[in-house]
Structure 1
Amino acid sequence: MGFYLALFVGALLLALLITPLVRRIALKSGIVDAPGLRKIHSSPVPLLGGVAIYLAFTLALLGLTGWILPFYFLQLAAILFGATLMSITGFLDDKYGLPPLVKLLAQLGVGLWLIISGVQIEVFRVSVLNVLITLLWVVAITNAMNFLDNMDGLSGGVSVIAAAFFFLSAYQSGQWLVGALGATLAGAGAGFVYHNFGIFSQKSPHQIFMGDSGSLFMGFLLAACGIKLRFPNTDFVTWMVPVLVLGVPLFDITLVTLSRLRRSLPIARGGKDHTSHRLVALGLSSREAVLILWMASGALGVAALVIMGASVRDGYVVGGVVAVLAGWAVLRLEHVPLVNTNPAVKGSGKGLKNNAETTKPEIK
């Protein structure tokens, strides 16, 4: 446990120190997130928080695991290389704005890279199906975390919670690689969230956003953790645990996709129709909505740990209850009327359809 604690603390301290430096660079370079119809901030906010997360994660992991790298070199190197490509893709999108197709091709590319390196889902006897489900998982989770990046602390906080539960699951089952990735990512993410969410203040300071450089990076790493986490003696746990741990981002991307399809709107078009926006429309503040989704992520993580020690029957009962609750929540939230709450943006007060149609592409 001491080794994992060192990874967490090392990444945490590095992120706490690096994030303010990256913020200054983003401001000087003009890499900021401008206010918009689907944004909750009324003034430009520096991006590139993801660069701080990437640097803290990489420096801590490589600095503290050099002595054990030979045992896991190929797969760890493959995951780090893919994560680096995702971070670079996100940085370019933050700075220049990349077409959705380019980002999708990048995600498929790193997914194929994982498969070639031996990191893939193995649930089917037909190898082609395993390749397809691996690519689908990488693209879905990477985009789900990117979709979730719509309020201060939301995507970052959920990523920290998910990484922590991946660490706990791996630690209990003796899976070093996933444990190291989870502990380090949780630390790096927590250091960033401190600056992004304003944990010890009542109002979110909007100091810095993670941007695509962070959400793509963290989403890819969480997808890789879900692939690598294995329970050979209990197949249903192998696929159910990652789904539960990443339940909040999966729920959000499912809700948004179904909602836009139902309204004949482009899935790739941004809008204030995410889970967090709907919770705000129900009367919560943005901060309260984020905390609710943090708690939901934690509850799903606990359910994943319960399933690890449960019988197959009990595991499916837990999974079934979660699925029913998720279905009910989709139906309930889908019919919440939404309005733009950003007074700094023209068009405030327009409804959900207008919001979804007039914002920039969102598919990452």
Structure 2
Amino acid sequence: MTQILLIFITALLFSVLATPVARRVALRTGVVDAPAARKLHLAPVPLLGGGAIYTAFVVALILFGDQAYVRELIGILLGATLVSLFGLADDRWGLNAYVKLGAQALAGAILILGGTQVRLFPVEWMNWAITLFWVVGITNALNLLDNMDGLSAGVTTVAAAYFLLLAAMSGQYLVGAMAAALIGACVGFLRYNLNPATIFMGDAGSLFLGFLLAALAIKLRFPSNVPWVTWLVPVCVLAVPIFDTSLVFVSRLRRGKNPLTTPGKDHVSHRLTALGLTRREAVLICYLLGCGAGMVAVYISQARAPDGYVAAGLLAAAMLAGIVWFERRQGGG
């Protein structure tokens, strides 16, 4: 427990100290997010916050992580670094959406080669396929969710907190250590990213966070329960980014738009502000939704098949109802 606490504190301190440095570097090098019609900010905002998050996460694990888990960690860090570098290139020069997807698929392959993969099916290629689908899907979900001050980092903090709790309940040090480092790095960054934000994480940060959350979800194991129940746990923990991405895809496909390349103010956060909430209130609602979904995940981790599937089914029904309600009321944008 002491080691986990040290990892959290180290990541937090490095994030708090590194984020202002990243802001100055971004301003000097011109890596900024310029105002546009589909964006909420009115002045250019530095984009290198993801570099501070990355540095804080890695430094904390190097200084206080258990060296016995280095081999398992290498594949995860290599994949996370790859998607972060492509995100950085996108922040600086702009990349085609399909190039970024290819990089994410390659990072997923690195993850598999490093021994981190879904193990649900007796046929290996099916496990590889679902691993790649999950990694690319969650990585992009966090990237799409990064559309309002404090949203992506805060939702990641909530999800990582539940992964830390679940890891503690099942005695998994590596997942707990990574989750603690992720929480510390994100909380430190939120000091500067809450509305009104003075720095954004950029794609370098959101893709990094998404990839790590996907990897943590795969690494999580539940020795006291069966896989055909516990696979629902990470899906529930990450219900907010999954819901947001599903809403955006449904909305854009319904309007005949490409979900990957069509920007718009059709995310959950945008729709909540359209209902009259402030931006901070909309972000807080997303945090609370993440907390509620996490509670369902903890319940499922201890439940047997019928009860677990009922709980997950009710959550899925609520998400579907939310999509239908938002689309009927607002119809996207």
Residue in 1 that maps onto 2:309: 316
Q: TM-score, normalised by structure 1?
A: 0.89
Whichever residue aligns with residue 283 of structure 1, its letter is: G
Residue of structure 1 aligned with 2:84, choices 81, 84, 87: 87
Residue in 2 that maps onto 1:262: 254
Give secondary structure in 2 for the equivalent of 1:265: coil
Structure 2 segments unaligned to the other structure (5+ residues): none
Residue of structure 2 aligned with 1:142, choices 136, 139, 143: 139
Equivalent residues of 2:229, 2:304 under 8 A apart:
no
Cα distance in 1 between the residues matched to 2:49 and 2:186: 10
Equivalent residues of 2:251, 2:327 under 8 A apart:
yes
Residue in 1 that maps onto 2:218: 227
Give secondary structure in 1 for the equivalent of 2:329: coil
Equivalent residues of 1:281, 1:336 under 8 A apart:
no
Residues 336-355 of structure 1 mapped to structure 2, 5 A cutoff: 336-337=329-330, 352-353=332-333
Deviation at 1:337, TM superposition (A): 2.7
Residues 36-55 of structure 1 mapped to structure 2, 5 A cutoff: 36-55=36-55
Residue in 2 that maps onto 1:196: 193
Residue of structure 1 aligned with 2:288, choices 279, 283, 295: 295
Q: TM-score, normalised by structure 2?
A: 0.97
Cα distance in 2 between the residues matched to 1:105 and 1:311: 38
Using the TM superposition, name which of 329-338 and 132-141 deviates more: 329-338
Residue in 2 that maps onto 1:56: 56
Residue in 2 that maps onto 1:362: none
Residue in 1 that maps onto 2:110: 113
Identity of aligned residues (%): 53
Cα distance in 2 between the residues matched to 1:253 and 1:83: 21
Deviation at 1:73, TM superposition (A): 2.2
Cα distance in 1 between the residues matched to 2:174 and 2:326: 38
Residue in 2 that maps onto 1:271: 264
Deviation at 1:176, TM superposition (A): 1.0
Cα distance in 1 between the residues matched to 2:300 and 2:77: 29
Whichever residue aligns with residue 308 of structure 2, its letter is: G
Q: Deviations over 1:282-326 (max 9, x none)?
A: 111111100000000011111111222223222122111111111
Cα distance in 1 between the residues matched to 2:88 and 2:317: 38
Residue in 2 that maps onto 1:172: 169
Structure 1 segments unaligned to the other structure (5+ residues): 198-203, 339-351, 354-364
Equivalent residues of 1:282, 1:336 under 8 A apart:
no
Residue of structure 2 aligned with 1:160, choices 157, 160, 168: 157
Deviation at 1:224, TM superposition (A): 0.2
Cα distance in 1 between the residues matched to 2:115 and 2:204: 25
Residue in 2 that maps onto 1:200: none
Equivalent residues of 2:118, 2:218 under 8 A apart:
yes
Deviation at 1:72, TM superposition (A): 1.9
Residue in 2 that maps onto 1:29: 29
Judged with a 3 Å threshold, the aligned counterparts in structure 2 of structure 1 residues 255 and 311 are, in CA distance, closer, same or farther, namely same
Deviation at 1:86, TM superposition (A): 1.4
Whichever residue aligns with residue 139 of structure 2, its letter is: T
Deviation at 1:133, TM superposition (A): 0.5
Deviation at 1:64, TM superposition (A): 0.8
Cα distance in 1 between the residues matched to 2:19 and 2:150: 14
Give secondary structure in 1 for the equivalent of 2:231: helix
Give secondary structure in 2 for the equivalent of 1:335: helix
